[in-house]
Amino acid sequence: MRRRVMGLGVVVCFCMALVIGLSEQKASAQMAAEKPLVYTFVMEWDVPRAMWGDYDKQMATTNETLKKSVDDGTLISYGMFSTVSHQEGAPNHGTWMTSSSIANLMKVLDVLRASPTSTSPVVSASKHWDYVLSSRDYAAHSGTFTNGYLRVATWIGREGANDPGGKVEKASMVAMLEKLMADGALHAYSLDREIIHTTDANAFFVVIVTNGPEGLDKFNAAVDDMGKNNPASLAAFRSLVSENGHRDTLAKVTTTVHK
């Protein structure tokens, strides 16, 4: 009996060591696969409707500056958009730019602010908002695209909810978005949080740039499919967010470039 117990103990110890070893390998693989932080600066404008044409002309100059910054590696990507779902007193146009460091974002911002267009009549007449965000969950197809639609879902984290390492987000929302990327429905996506807090500190943003208007329908269908075929995943995601804190923004992406 003693030999059997000792033998069983050896087997148990071996199995435990194997499990621990596999767990450590899995954790190491996950850490190795974790994407580096990227940072995004968003500029939004409430442009008077009579000046929308002037704004578009000015953006041609801004586009040249941002394109050069992608070409030289200062930026990873950028995009310009005009709102589809308008709200009184809310922004109707905007630009985002993404980089691997905040320093690079500030360098490009300095160039934009030094341009004569930064004091143009359209800028002076428009209300303005800025946001600084970061993300570890993102993807984008390389290239220049002019057919995209930007959809931003703003969620407020539920008080007391906990998602160490973003495991629930990755298993639900990120997994769905990765499949949409692979299917060609999206040009890009990211899950962002503010690092300079100007909104609710618990807010986070699910951002997609679709491949044409059809991508919007494919995104909605994917959410419906998750609810029908993987309700536990959707329920887990919803457990992280406040029931009353959700808002959406929809815009047409006039151009986006990703290195």
Range of the domain at 48: 34-258
Q: Is 213 helix (H, G, I), strand (E, B) or coil?
A: coil
Residue-level pLDDT at 137: 97
Q: Do 134 and 11 have their domain in common?
A: no
Q: Do 14 and 101 have their domain in common?
A: no
State the pLDDT confidence band at 7, using cuts at 50, 70 and 90.
very low
Q: Do 103 and 176 have their domain in common?
A: yes
Q: Do 157 and 228 have their domain in common?
A: yes
Backbone CA torsion sign across 73, 76, 77, 78: negative
Average pLDDT value for residue range 67-75: 97
Predicted confidence (pLDDT) at residue 55 exceeds the cutoff of 80:
yes
Residue-level pLDDT at 235: 92
Q: What is the residue-averaged pLDDT of the chain?
A: 88
Predicted confidence (pLDDT) at residue 13 exceeds the cutoff of 60:
no
State the pLDDT confidence band at 16, using cuts at 50, 70 and 90.
very low
The predicted-structure confidence for 204-221, as pLDDT tens digits, reads as follows: 999 999 999 999 999 999
The highest-confidence range among 18-27, 29-38, 140-149, by mean pLDDT, is 140-149
CA 227, CA 25: separation in Å to the nearest integer?
Answer: 32
Q: How many domains does the chain have?
A: 2
Residue 209's CATH number:
3.30.70.100
Q: Give the Å distances, CA to CA, from 161 to 18, 37, 186, 239, 248.
A: 32, 23, 29, 7, 22
State the pLDDT confidence band at 156, using cuts at 50, 70 and 90.
very high
Which of 240, 199, 200 has the alpha carbon at shortest distance from 42? 199
The predicted-structure confidence for 17-30, as pLDDT tens digits, reads as follows: 333 333 334 433 44
Burial of residue 249 (CB within 10 Å: 0-12, 13-18, 19+) is: buried
State the pLDDT confidence band at 15, using cuts at 50, 70 and 90.
very low
Residue-level pLDDT at 244: 81
Q: Do 244 and 143 have their domain in common?
A: yes
Q: Do 136 and 249 have their domain in common?
A: yes
Residue-level pLDDT at 160: 85
Residue-level pLDDT at 6: 30
Q: Do 153 and 27 have their domain in common?
A: no
The predicted-structure confidence for 123-133, as pLDDT tens digits, reads as follows: 999 999 999 99
Predicted confidence (pLDDT) at residue 182 exceeds the cutoff of 70:
yes
Residue-level pLDDT at 10: 32
CA 118, CA 81: separation in Å to the nearest integer?
Answer: 18
Average pLDDT value for residue range 151-168: 91
Q: State pTM to two decimals.
A: 0.85
Q: Do 127 and 28 have their domain in common?
A: no
Residue-level pLDDT at 34: 85
